[in-house]
């Protein structure tokens, strides 16, 4: 699996190719990625990366079981 930075570089190359914006838009719509901003390459790349690499969610400390008997 590619890292987020490798995927970002791949998407930037795609955006720079002929009809790159259309190709990025196709990825967004194919995966039903919610996108409210204008279809600008950099913003589309960030939306795709957020979808493919969601932020890790850690449990709140109050729900942690560490230190309990």
**Rounded average pLDDT over 22-47:** 79
* Rounded (10°) CA dihedral 28, 33, 35, 40: -30
CA R_g for the chain:
17
Q: Confidence band (pLDDT; 50, 70, 90) for 2?
A: confident
pTM greater than the 0.85 cutoff: no
- Distance CA(7)–CA(37), nearest Å, equals 21
pLDDT one-digit tens code per residue, 52-68: 888 777 665 555 455 55
* Rounded (10°) CA dihedral 58, 64, 67, 69: -150
Tell me what pLDDT residue 6 has: 93
Q: What is the DSSP letter of 37?
A: S
């Amino acid at each position: 699996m590619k890292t987020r930075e490798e995927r970002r570089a791949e998407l930037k190359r795609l955006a720079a190719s002929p009809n790159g914006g259309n190709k990025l838009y196709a990825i967004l719509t194919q995966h039903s990625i919610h996108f409210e901003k204008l279809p600008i390459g950099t913003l589309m790349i960030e939306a795709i990366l957020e979808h493919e690499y969601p932020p890790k969610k850690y449990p709140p400390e109050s729900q942690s079981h560490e230190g309990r008997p």
